[in-house]
Structure 1
C-alpha cells in the first residue's frame, strides 16, 4: 500500500483532503480508498454520458467487488487502494447500485443517499466501531445537510473525517457567509473533539 501513487489523492476535493488530515494512521488507507472509489463512480456516472455505457462501467466495478482480490487487475489504482477494505469491500456494491439508480432510476437520489450512509457505517465497522447509530446520523446529515439536526453526533477518533465532512456540508447548506478564520477554527474543533 505504501507504493501507491500520491497523485490520485490530489484529485480529491478540498473538503475530502481536509477530512483525511483527521484520519487515524490505521484508518487512513481505508478512508483514501473510500473517497477515491466514490470519485471513480461519480466520474463513471457523470451527466452527459450514455446511460447504457454508464451501466456497463458500473457493472465492471460491481463484478470486481464480488470477486477475490487476487483476480483484480493490478493496473487499476483504485482497486489497489480498496485492498484496505478487506472483506468489507462487499458493502461498497450498494454504492455502485446507488449510482446506477441515480442515472437510470427515478428515485431522486434516494438509493444513492442510502448507499452512502451504509458505506460510512461499513467503514466504521471496518475501523472497529461497534455502535453505528451516531455514524449513521452523521452520514445522513452529510448526504442531506439541509435536513440536518442542530446538534451533531459525537464521533470517535476513527470517524473524525466524517465529522469534518458533515460540519462543512451543514455549514454550506445553512448558507453561512464564508469566514475563513472562523470556518477553520470550527473544522479544527470538530476534528479534535468529534463534534
Structure 2
C-alpha cells in the first residue's frame, strides 16, 4: 500500500491488532495520512477544499461502486467496508480535517470540531477490530488533538489543543481496553505521552515499555 508514513513506533502498535483485521486498521490510518499530506502540501484554501471534496465524494461512492484506481480507496473497500462500515460513515474524518482549512484561527470550538471529525477514525477502527466497550470517541478525539498540538506553530493554539486533548486521553488511559482494540488504546497512550511537558523521543525504552504494558494488560 502506498502512502504509508514511516513511523516505527506505530508499526509496533499495529502488531497489537488481530492479524486478520490489521490491514483494516492500517487502511484507515493511511487514509488519515493522505488527508494530512493534502493539507501540508496545499497552499490555497480553495484548492484544499476542492481536494477534500473529492475525498468526501470518493468515500461515499464506495457504498455503491467499485473503488477507482487509487490505493487508499481500494484498501478501504477491501479491508474496512467488509466489516459493516460504510464509506459515508468515514466522511466525518474528512470534515474534521476541513476545519483546518475553513477557519483562519483555531479557537476551542474549531478544535473540538476537528477532534470530533478526525476522531471518528477510532470509531470506525473499533468496528473493524471488534472493540468491546472501549472509549473510542474520547480516545480518538484526544489522539487527533494531541497530534494537532504537536504540529501547531502558534503557542496559544498549541496550548488550547493540549488542554482539550489531555482530559480526553486521561479518561481513555483509565479504561481497561478489550484485547481486540488494544492497538487503539496504545495509540491513545502514545498521544498522552506526547503531551508530557518534556516528552521522551519516539522509540525511547520508557515509551516502548509503556506501550508493551498496555498490550499485556489493557491498561
Task: Report the TM-score, using the length of structure 2 for normalisation.
Answer: 0.75
Any stretches of 5+ residues in structure 2 without a counterpart?
146-164
Q: Is 1:19 paired with 2:19?
A: no
SS at match of 1:27: helix
**Equivalent of residue 73 in structure 2, options 65, 79, 96:** 79
Change (3 A) 1:32 1:14: same
Q: Is 1:181 paired with 2:175?
A: no
Instruction: Supply the RMSD in Å over aligned alpha carbons.
Output: 2.4
Q: Is 1:40 paired with 2:34?
A: yes
Number of residue equivalences: 187
Q: Which residue of 2 aligns with 1:191?
A: 215
- Contact kept, 8 Å, 2:3 with 2:33, in 1: the verdict is no
After the TM superposition, which parts of structure 1 deviate over 4 Å for at least 4 consecutive aligned residues? Answer: none
Q: Is 1:100 paired with 2:68?
A: no
Q: Which residue of 2 aligns with 1:67?
A: 61
Any stretches of 5+ residues in structure 1 without a counterpart?
none
SS at match of 2:92: helix
Deviation at 1:61, TM superposition (A): 0.7
Change (3 A) 1:41 1:163: same
- Contact kept, 8 Å, 1:37 with 1:78, in 2: the verdict is yes
Deviation at 1:142, TM superposition (A): 2.3
Change (3 A) 1:68 1:91: closer
